[in-house]
């Protein structure tokens, strides 16, 4: 990755942080609260109770019950492939974003919406942990898979499109299930997006031999 591309990553990360701070300082404003109530009402009116099962499953995909086993499997694969720095970065990505989310929740201490919760929750509301963790973790996996499939642009686009849809649905599920305000989800996406960009930025310093887009040398046949 070029110096310019690294600068773009850092710039986008800073923008995400600034937008997150703006939301964090204004999520209690009446206009923001009214907007959140309108989004929730629209979702309930549009989807009704038919989406209960679907969104419960989707929100489960965004939980630690799924992300940690995936991380464990990938750690074994990467260690077998001697991708030691990539393994450490994967751990940093998931464990780090979860700890950051816990820290942010403890700072803002926003209570959950006063709605019927269709799933059990125990922590504070802002920012959404599912949204923050999913964009950081699944986004980073999509980036690694994108590097692996870089020679196939069509497959690479499918990977990114699938990741965007999954992450978006996970965030939407938290609002639909009544456990988050819409701005909790937006804030989670911004904070998690910044962590994703940081992870990608750090990956650019991983030794070249571990890169997924590293091509094997072509052996030329000797003329007889």
* Per-residue pLDDT, 3: 79
Dmax over CA atoms of the chain, in Å, equals 81
Does residue 220 register a pLDDT over 50? no
Instruction: Say how far apart CA 102 and CA 182 lie, in whole Å.
Output: 19
Structure letter (DSSP) for residue 4: H
**Counting beta carbons within 10 angstroms of the beta carbon of residue 149, is it exposed (0 to 12), middle (13 to 18) or buried (19 or more)?**
middle
pLDDT tens digits, 117-174: 666 777 778 899 999 999 999 999 999 999 888 778 888 889 999 999 999 999 988 8
pLDDT tens digits, 71-116: 999 999 999 989 999 999 999 999 999 999 999 999 988 877 776 6
* Per-residue pLDDT, 115: 64
Half-sphere exposure of 8 (CA within 13 A, CB side): 6
CA geometry: angle 13, 18, 21, nearest 5 deg? 125
Per the model's pLDDT, the better-predicted residue between 59 and 181 turns out to be: 59
Please write down the long-range contacts of 8-14, taking CB distance under 8 Å and 24 or more positions apart. Answer: 9/197, 9/200, 9/201, 9/204, 10/197, 10/201, 12/197, 13/194, 13/197, 13/198, 13/201
Instruction: Say how far apart CA 55 and CA 117 lie, in whole Å.
Output: 12
pTM: 0.86
Point out the residues that are catalytic.
Answer: 130, 180
Of 153, 198, 213, 73, nearest to 190 by C-alpha is 198
pLDDT tens digits, 8-51: 999 999 999 999 999 888 777 666 666 666 777 777 767 666 67
Q: What does the radius of gyration of the chain's CA atoms come to, in whole angstroms?
A: 20
């Amino acid at each position: 990755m070029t110096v310019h591309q690294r600068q773009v990553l850092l710039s986008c990360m800073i923008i995400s942080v600034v937008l997150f701070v703006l939301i964090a300082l204004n999520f209690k404003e009446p206009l923001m609260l009214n907007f959140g109530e309108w989004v929730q009402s629209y979702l309930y009116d549009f989807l009704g109770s038919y989406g209960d099962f679907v969104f419960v499953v989707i929100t489960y995909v965004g939980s630690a019950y799924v992300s940690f086993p995936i991380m464990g499997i990938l750690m074994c694969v990467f260690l077998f492939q001697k991708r030691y720095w990539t393994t450490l970065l994967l751990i940093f990505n998931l464990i780090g974003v979860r700890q950051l989310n816990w820290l942010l929740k403890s700072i803002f201490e926003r209570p959950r919406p006063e709605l019927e919760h269709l799933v059990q929750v125990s922590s504070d509301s802002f920012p959404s942990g599912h949204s923050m963790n999913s964009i950081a973790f699944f986004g980073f996996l999509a980036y690694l898979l994108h590097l692996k499939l870089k020679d196939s642009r069509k497959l690479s686009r499918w990977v990114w499109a699938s990741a965007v849809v999954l992450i978006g649905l996970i965030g939407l599920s938290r609002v639909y299930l009544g456990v988050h305000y819409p701005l909790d989800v937006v804030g989670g996406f911004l904070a998690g997006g910044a962590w994703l960009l940081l992870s990608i930025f750090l990956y650019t310093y991983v030794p070249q031999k571990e890169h997924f887009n590293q091509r094997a040398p072509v052996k030329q046949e000797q003329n007889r």
